[in-house]
Amino acid sequence: MGIPPYTKIILIPGDERETRQYGISRAMVVTLIVLVAVMVGVVALLMMSFAGKHTERARIQELEFQLADARQDIMVAEELRVELDQMRAIQEKLLYMLGVEDASPVGADSLAAWLDEAPASSGEGMQRAAALSLSPKPDRWPAKGFVTREFISGSIPKGIKPHLGIDIAGPVDAPVMAAAPGVVERTGTDNFLGNYVEIRHGLGYLTVYGHLSRIAVGKNDHVEAGQVVAYMGESGQATGPHLHFEIWYQGEAVNPRTVVAGDPPRN
């Protein structure tokens, strides 16, 4: 049934006062209906928006709790890392005292494997330990030339690629010398370093020499400071002949410039 063109509203008071009549046109009725519908729609939207914001606030609060838990986990992980580094340092010192020379990077389950290569006698063990502990730290540059790339500790989360050594450019087959007295830890070939030599020194130091053309020493050889251990080349991932020189202290790479003074001598 449609809306009549004209509608009367009669108000009858409860007492004996005069009855009142009001006339409402069809246009006015339609307008009132539209206004009521709009108001209902606005109220419904406000309620939905409030409900959505309430859910959003609850989600934000939940995320804040998760973030707090994650920060706590990071703090615990950092504390564990510090404790593990301390344990590794103690373990490495113990290995020096035992005279174990073939010490790969320290691992949680590697002590037993290292002990398999313990010295044949206590005298030999003490001699090895004394040689390692009393020899000086690296104090000289291993090659002549120009520094073409510096040490970069890097940050993987920030997208900064590390470069854990210093590159010294020079001619092919230029001599590479030991940076300090020590024992050759290992020699070999690596995808990045190419031909390389590692030398174990005293006080927890290890030096690495990479991109070599030829190697002049073997594993377990005792070398003196300045002794030729290899020759410069461009093996591995190298764009030209140079020496990649690393210094490690207690299992961590350090900037060679913080250990060796000055600059490499020029050719």
Q: What is residue 102's predicted lDDT score, i.e. its pLDDT? A: 43
75-94 exposure pattern, b = at least 16 Cβ within 10 A, e = fewer = eeeeeeeeeeeeebbebbee
**Cβ contact 229:209 at 8 Å:** yes
Q: What is residue 209's predicted lDDT score, i.e. its pLDDT? A: 98
In the predicted model, residues of the chain with pLDDT beneath 70 are 1-12, 14-17, 21-26, 51-52, 54, 88-135
What residue ranges define each of the domains in the chain, with the CATH number in brackets? 91-134 (no CATH), 146-258 (2.70.70.10)
Q: What is the pLDDT of residues 44-67, one digit of tens each?
A: 787 777 766 767 777 777 888 888
Distance between CA atoms of residues 79 and 77, nearest Å: 5
Q: How far is CA 245 from the centre of its chain?
A: 22
Q: What is residue 89's predicted lDDT score, i.e. its pLDDT? A: 66
Q: What is residue 84's predicted lDDT score, i.e. its pLDDT? A: 72
Q: What is the pLDDT of residues 224-250, one digit of tens each?
A: 999 999 999 999 999 899 999 999 998
Q: How far is CA 53 from CA 50, 58, 61, in A?
A: 5, 8, 12
**Cβ contact 126:96 at 8 Å:** no
Q: What is residue 114's predicted lDDT score, i.e. its pLDDT? A: 40
**Cβ contact 235:194 at 8 Å:** yes
Q: What is residue 100's predicted lDDT score, i.e. its pLDDT? A: 47
**Cβ contact 244:211 at 8 Å:** yes
What is the DSSP secondary-structure string of 64-83? Answer: HHHHHHHHHHHHHHHHHHHH
